[in-house]
């Protein structure tokens, strides 16, 4: 029995799609346990690129794939994504895709509210994807959400919509939005229900059976630990818990089922949207990282902010998730630099910190303390064995391991599926 959790240890976009896809060769089941369709995972298989949002990365390989109860699900987005992936030749059936019947739904008015609040906030906006994820989680916690199972019960839909409209119409009035058209909403839900209900069942039971049968289960996180609603750069965060502990609660298994936590990190740092970013570069180096690394959001298309590797933040994420190893991605993007830098601490006034403080002003005010290493001229692109890496690239990896207190299990050297150096197998740890 093995339960491996993959989480991002930066601000997302660390390459989870590829690494999860690569690990799928060793897994029997793949589970999404938090977030919504704001998460974009890109898989490159041969000449085909798959862009996934809600679907677990295992669907491309025909693995049993589960969308857990911790995910908020836009049923229209899910149906569209299934159709899009099937058009690329991937067969998706209820035997291979399980949708938790207790997952909460993202509804059209959630998107309206998300967009209206961001627009009204102006310069104070936090940079959401405006896809309704935050408002859907608010309704979940407020105990007024519609869940997947409700789509099969018109009476439940009717009285829950009453609760929802009582809350949302007041908000919409204040934002200058029209009241919710209840009958139109019911009609939309009735139309989408047959497209998603065939996949719905108690996901926790499916997972329990998988573990009883000694299946290898891969838990796929979305976003990154620095966007965790509790432990990230609040309020510039996502609306769910991203740390590895959420894998248990968000999928319906006990924490003892988790045997290994793999934290994903880029060989440098990126961030999409607003919020603190201590090592951000506004110069030619930052521009080069963005261009060579093709740093644009999978779902949003927004350019990512780029900077040097921040060992302080990654070490903090490693502690929060109890990571056993890291997967270092996009090492090849650093090829050709004369020197590379790693942030080893922060200056805040006359203090030196080894962590990111919780206060917004302090997070904005910290200044990175850098350590400079020699770059390497030989390419690492496509390398699949550590013995073929340049000595200075190996030195860079080893220094990162020392600073974050966690060994490298995998190193990715290109977007291609097989361009991975395996140092430690998470399923055999």
Tokens of 290: 């963005």
Distance CA 297, CA 180 (A): 31
9 Cβ contact list (under 8 Å, min separation 6): 224, 225, 226, 263, 264, 265, 313, 314, 317, 318, 321, 323, 326
- Find the catalytic residue in 13, 101, 310, 324: 13
pLDDT score, position 136: 96
**184 burial level (CB within 10 Å; 0-12, 13-18, 19+):** exposed
Nearest to 322 by CA among 241, 401, 260, 269: 260
Has 13 been annotated as catalytic? yes
261 Cβ contact list (under 8 Å, min separation 6): 4, 5, 7, 244, 321, 322, 323, 324, 325
23 Cβ contact list (under 8 Å, min separation 6): 4, 6, 218, 262, 426, 427
Establish whether the linkage from the previous residue to 9 is cis, with ω within 30° of 0.
no
Q: What are phi and psi of 421, to 5 degrees?
A: -100, 120
Q: Where are the beta strands (DSSP E) in 242-322?
A: 260-266, 269-271, 305-307, 309-310
**Which tens digits make up the pLDDT trace of 243-274?**
999 999 999 999 999 999 999 999 999 998 88
Contact 422/410 with Cβ under 8 angstroms? yes
Q: Are strands 269-271 and 305-307 parallel, antiparallel or unpaired?
A: antiparallel
Neighbours of 271 (CB within 10 A): 25
Q: At what angle do helices 154-174 and 108-121 cross, to 10 degrees?
A: 20
pLDDT score, position 391: 97
pLDDT score, position 21: 84
Tracing tokens 């929802």 back to the chain, one arrives at: 164
Q: Which residues pair with 77 in a beta bridge?
A: none
Distance CA 175, CA 60 (A): 41
Neighbours of 371 (CB within 10 A): 14
Contact 424/325 with Cβ under 8 angstroms? yes
Contact 7/221 with Cβ under 8 angstroms? yes
Q: Are strands 216-220 and 269-271 parallel, antiparallel or unpaired?
A: unpaired
Q: Alpha-carbon dihedral of residues 12, 201, 149, 41, nearest 10 degrees?
A: 20
pLDDT in tens, the chain (429 residues): 689 999 999 999 898 888 988 898 899 999 999 999 977 777 777 788 888 899 998 898 899 999 999 999 999 999 999 999 999 999 999 999 999 999 999 999 999 898 888 888 777 666 677 889 999 999 999 999 999 999 999 888 999 999 999 999 999 999 999 999 999 999 999 999 999 999 999 999 999 999 999 999 999 998 999 999 999 999 999 999 999 999 999 999 999 999 999 999 999 999 988 899 999 999 999 999 999 999 986 666 778 999 999 999 999 999 999 999 999 999 999 999 999 999 999 999 999 999 999 999 999 999 999 999 999 999 999 999 999 999 999 999 999 999 999 999 999 999 888 899 999 999 987
Radius of gyration in angstroms for the set of CA atoms belonging to the chain, rounded to a whole number? 22
Tokens of 340: 């590379």
Which H/E stretch holds residue 45? strand 41-45
Q: Which residues pair with 411 in a beta bridge?
A: 328, 421
- Find the catalytic residue in 21, 37, 41, 74: 41
Distance CA 343, CA 13 (A): 19
Contact 243/321 with Cβ under 8 angstroms? yes
Contact 347/39 with Cβ under 8 angstroms? no
pLDDT score, position 89: 93
Tokens of 325: 């190893």
Three-state DSSP class for residue 370: strand
Contact 424/261 with Cβ under 8 angstroms? no
Distance CA 104, CA 240 (A): 13
Has 41 been annotated as catalytic? yes
Compute the C-alpha angle 107/113/116, nearest 5°: 145
Q: Cα separations (Å) of 193 from 45, 204, 347, 373?
A: 32, 21, 54, 56
């Amino acid at each position: 029995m093995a339960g491996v959790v993959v989480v991002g240890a930066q601000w997302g976009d660390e390459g989870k799609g590829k690494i999860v896809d690569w690990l799928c060769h060793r897994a029997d089941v793949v589970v999404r346990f938090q977030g919504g369709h704001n998460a974009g995972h890109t898989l490159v298989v041969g000449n085909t690129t798959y862009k996934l949002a809600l679907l677990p990365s295992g669907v491309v390989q025909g693995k049993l794939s589960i969308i857990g109860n911790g995910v908020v699900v836009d049923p229209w987005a899910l149906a569209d994504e299934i159709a899009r992936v099937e058009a690329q030749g991937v067969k998706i059936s209820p035997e291979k895709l399980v949708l938790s019947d207790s997952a909460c739904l993202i509804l059209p008015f959630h998107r309206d509210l998300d967009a209206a609040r961001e627009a009204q906030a102006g310069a104070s906006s936090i940079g959401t994807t405006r896809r309704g994820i935050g408002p859907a989680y608010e309704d979940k916690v407020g105990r007024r959400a519609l869940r997947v199972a409700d789509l099969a019960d018109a009476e439940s839909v009717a009285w829950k919509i009453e609760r929802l409209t009582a809350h949302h119409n007041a908000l919409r009035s204040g934002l200058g939005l029209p009241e919710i058209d209840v009958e139109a909403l019911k009609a939309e839900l009735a139309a989408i229900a047959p497209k998603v209900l065939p996949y719905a069942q108690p996901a926790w039971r499916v997972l329990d059976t998988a573990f009883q049968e000694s299946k290898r289960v891969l838990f796929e996180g979305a976003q990154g630990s620095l966007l965790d609603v509790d432990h990230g750069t609040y309020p510039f965060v996502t609306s769910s818990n991203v740390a590895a502990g959420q894998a248990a609660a968000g999928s319906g298994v006990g924490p003892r089922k988790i045997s290994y936590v793999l934290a994903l990190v880029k060989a440098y740092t990126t961030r999409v949207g607003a919020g603190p970013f201590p090592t951000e570069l506004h110069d030619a180096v930052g521009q080069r990282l963005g261009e060579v690394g093709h740093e644009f959001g999978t779902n949003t298309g927004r350019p990512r902010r780029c900077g040097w590797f921040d060992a302080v933040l990654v070490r903090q994420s490693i502690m929060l998730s109890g990571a056993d190893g890291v997967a270092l991605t996009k090492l090849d993007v650093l090829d050709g630099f004369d020197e590379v830098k790693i942030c080893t601490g922060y200056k805040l006034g006359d203090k030196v910190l080894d962590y990111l403080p919780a206060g917004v002003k302090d997070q904005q005010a910290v200044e990175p303390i850098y350590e400079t290493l020699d770059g390497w001229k030989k390419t690492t692109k496509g390398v699949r064995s550590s013995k073929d890496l340049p000595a200075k690239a190996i030195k860079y990896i080893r220094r990162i391991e020392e600073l974050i207190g966690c060994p490298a299990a995998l190193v990715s050297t290109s977007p291609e599926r097989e361009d991975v150096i395996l140092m430690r197998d998470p399923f055999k740890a």
